Amino acid sequence: MKLGMRLTTASALALLGLVPFALIAALVAGGWPPLHDLDRAVTDSLHTWALGHPHWTEANKWWTNIFAPMPLRAAALILVIWLLRRRAKRLALWAVTAMAVGGVLGALLKLLVGRHRPDLLDPVARATGYSFPSGHALNAALTAGVFVLVLLPVARGAKRWVLWGSAIAVTVLTGLSRIVLGVHWTSDVVAGWLLGIAVVAVTAAAFPRLRPERVVEEGLEPELADAQPPR
């Protein structure tokens, strides 16, 4: 795909993420009753299910710990180191930028919105800090997007489906685990997904304009994928 097409696609994805995210944030900050009622209904329903299925609840705890923000950032760091060893410095810099921007935005928005987490009588899990947006959902979408943009150009055949499937599964299941465990409202998770997608898209679209060299036009250059790291 040509650079112009990639930038157009990235810009469209950014709008598709930022516009609904801004709307949800405004509704949450304004305490819109229908959204609160919907969040409460979903939380109560899934909490009842979690109490009745302790084995699945324990599996959700394992999942949410494995794909927590810090392990996901560690995975992104490994990817960055791999890129640097393949001399793909620009792409490594973009990956670091996307993860950093998303992490900072998520932390700032939590403080600005100041939304409290669900308060359940018989909680199956606990979490600290404010609720909106979900840091797990945000970082899952961020990390999945970074891995897809970096690796998709050098993936061939069935590997592309595996890459996309893994990215979607990690993003969706990580967000859902937070709702099942009763530590986030549904709108927190949806907002986290949208913000993560938007950050990846915005940084991918903007990064080539910061430097004259190509950054995500071709993803990881195929010739670098097979190159041996310098000794």
User: What pLDDT score was predicted for residue 227?
Assistant: 47
Mean pLDDT by 10 residues, the chain (231 residues): 55 74 93 94 94 93 96 96 87 92 94 93 90 96 93 82 94 96 96 94 71 41 45 43
Q: Cis before residue 133, ω within 30 degrees of 0?
A: yes
Least Cα distance to 90 among 155, 149, 4, 144 occurs for 149
In a 13 Å sphere around the CA of 93, the CA atoms on its Cβ side amount to 12
User: What pLDDT score was predicted for residue 7?
Assistant: 57
> Tokens standing for 41?
């209904």
> Tokens standing for 204?
């991918």
Count CB-CB contacts under 10 A for residue 80.
Answer: 21
> Tokens standing for 7?
């930038």
The 3-state DSSP class for residue 217 equals coil
Kindly report the pTM of this predicted structure.
0.83
